Amino acid sequence: MKQLLEFLGFVAVLQGAMGLVHEFTDWNIGLVQRIGVLDGYEVYASAALLALGGALFAAAESRTSG
For residues 54-64, give the mean pLDDT: 91
Highest mean pLDDT range out of 26-30, 35-39, 44-48? 44-48
Given a cut of 90, whether residue 26 has pLDDT beyond it is no
For residues 56 and 9, is the Cβ–Cβ distance under 8 A?
yes
Report the alpha-carbon distance of residue 15 to residue 27 in Å, rounded: 13
In the chain, the percentage of residues whose pLDDT exceeds 90 is 64
pLDDT digit string, tens, across residues 40-57: 899 999 999 999 999 999
pLDDT of residue 35: 86
DSSP 48-62: HHHHHHHHHHHHHHH
